[in-house]
Amino acid sequence: MNPYFPTKEELDRFASLEVDIRFAGETDGFWSFVGSKSSQRQTRYAIKRKSGCILAWHNGKRQDKDFLILWKMLEKFPISFFLLIVPVIQHAC
């Protein structure tokens, strides 16, 4: 059991309190290719910034559907919103 995450029993006990538990984390990724650039692969991960604990990761193609697989893995965490920051200089059209 990971000590950074509350157990089901602990969450049940917290339910009777007026406490809102939230996770602060971020997603990132790195990509490479195998053989040729037409075989691009990307590893995306979600990390809890304060502890450095990896919440979830997915290795796939550089497509939105692969990001959604990672997002689905994060459903068990009480994420209230998601903010995507894309540096304009790095991703200019």
Give tens-digit pLDDT for 40-81: 888 998 888 778 888 889 999 878 898 889 888 988 877 766
SS3 91: coil
List the chain domain ranges.
Answer: 27-76
pTM of the model: 0.58
More confident call, 31 vs 84:
31
DSSP, res 34: S
Torsion (CA) 64, 72, 2, 9 in degrees, nearest 10: 160
Whether residue 53 contacts residue 45, with contact meaning beta carbons closer than 8 Å, is answered with no
